[in-house]
Amino acid sequence: MRNKVTPKRTRVPRAARLALREMRGRVAHRQRYRLVSQGWQYVGAMAIIGFAAWHSGTNLVYLVFSAMVAAFVGHGFIVGISLMGLDVRRGLPHHAVAETPVSIGVTLTNRRWFLPSYGVRLTDFLANAKPVGAAFFFRVDTKSSSETHYTMTFPLRGVYKLDRLEVASRFPFGMVERYFLVSQPQELVVFPQIVEVTEWLSRLQSYQGDLAAHQKGTGLDLFGIRSYNEGEHARRIHWKSTARTQRLMVMEFDREEQPKTTIILRNLVTADLRNDPDVVRDFEIAIVAAASLATQICKSNKEVSLLTSQGIIEAGSGSEHLNRILHALARLELVTTAKRWPSDAIDRKSIVEVRFRDWQPGEGSLADVELDARDLEIRSGKMLRRPGLVEAPPPNPTSSKRRAA
């Protein structure tokens, strides 16, 4: 008796099995139908014609009914082919700004070697299934890609999680919509709204001026007088001292230092206030005020730092430093526990404190300029005082000097 030969089975790598399983899952869930209002009207008319054909037995009515059925079935078949072999990709910007339109790009690729795709609509959804925008592709040729974008305005700052994309088409007759979903989770950080804070910025600038660091430099204020060194410019000679001492004396000047600003926003609250609607509203206004001040200060090429109950962003300037501050403010939340600030964290030269609540035990104002969000409102892109409020007095420069001393 001849031995039975068992064919040797080739083991498929695990990665290939997972890829095949994912591909089968995509194909199985790719075909979804949605009967639109025009389709329901067509089905109703088709039912009436079919009933008339059955009731009358007229061949002509049967012919009309058959043509309607053929068009309906053919439409479902054509729209299915139109969506085969399509890939979609979303392109997010680095960040967005609340209340400012942002453009989000989408790319649709047709991998088929026959038949272009027509009338493809793409809808973008958040993680909570809320649509955020849509784009339309009139035609995507075979073996090619088409790019477009949609514009979205986010009402609030924060981190928005974009989840899935829906690719749909009703081509050619618009009776049946066929679609498929593509999971493409991404996060978009939305910076706080930037508004005009002219009043508080002018108060800050009038308080600051150009502060001298009392170190030798190239400023305008006199630092001292010393003996002349060979090679120094004659413009620096102090002739009065030269005549008195009978030897050449030159002037030294203070170094002019761009003032550093520290913005303080204490986001520490008690547990009972964390979900209070009024506190949350005032907190959002405070964040907008802090972000707007930081933006204006950085645009003036001056250094600014941010202190919150969750951490510190050291002093710096420029667009990258501003993005770090706005990124932190976009993610800032109300907390019930706070981190302790280092003893040297507060720049005594210029402090702006943005408040949205009463002082808690152990706290006190450190500010040269203070903004209370409870007294402010945002209107027409500007930070304004609420009607009926009296303007706060300008800061007293001597108070900061006493603190620094």
Q: Which residues pair with 176 in a beta bridge?
A: 35
Whether 208 is covered by a domain: the verdict is no
Q: Would residue 202 count as lying in a domain? A: no
The Cβ-side half-sphere exposure at 246, using a 13 Å CA radius, reads 0
Same domain, 244 and 274: no
Does 75 fall in a domain? yes
Does 250 share its domain with 386?
no
Enclosing domain of residue 40: 28-188
- Are 171 and 268 members of one domain? no
Please write the tens of the pLDDT for every residue from 232-285: 777 777 777 777 887 887 777 655 556 678 888 888 888 888 888 999 999 999
Total count of domains within the chain: 3
- Mark whether 140 and 229 lie in a shared domain: no
22 in a structural domain: no
Per cent of the chain over pLDDT 90 is 24
Alpha-helix residue ranges (DSSP H) falling in 112-271: 198-208, 239-245
Distances (CA, A) of 256 to 109, 211, 328: 58, 6, 31
Q: Omega into 172 within 30° of 0, i.e. cis?
A: yes
Asked if residue 180 lies in contact with residue 167, where contact means CB atoms within 8 angstroms, the answer is yes
Q: What is the mean pLDDT of the chain?
A: 79
Q: In terms of Cα–Cα distance, which of 118, 115, 172 is closest to 142?
A: 115
Residue 126 lies in a domain: yes
Q: Are 172 and 313 in the same domain?
A: no
Q: What percent of the chain has pLDDT over 70?
A: 76
Note whether 150 and 134 are within 8 A (CB). yes
| This model's pTM is above 0.75 | no
Q: What pLDDT shows up at residue 253?
A: 63
Q: Are residue 233 and residue 275 in the same domain, yes or no?
A: no
Dihedral angle of Cα 235, 239, 240, 244, to the nearest 10 degrees: 140
Structure tokens at 22: 């994912």
- Residue-wise pLDDT for 337-379, tens only, equals 877 776 666 655 677 888 888 877 666 666 677 888 888 888 8
Under 8 Å between Cβ of 49 and 56: no
Q: Specify whether the CB–CB gap between 156 and 285 falls below 8 A.
A: no
* The predicted structure's pLDDT at residue 149: 93
Q: For residues 235 and 371, state if they share a domain.
A: no
Q: Which among 240, 257, 274 is the end of a domain?
A: 257
Pair (161, 148) in one structural domain: yes
Q: What are the phi and psi torsion angles at 304 (to 5°)?
A: -145, 145
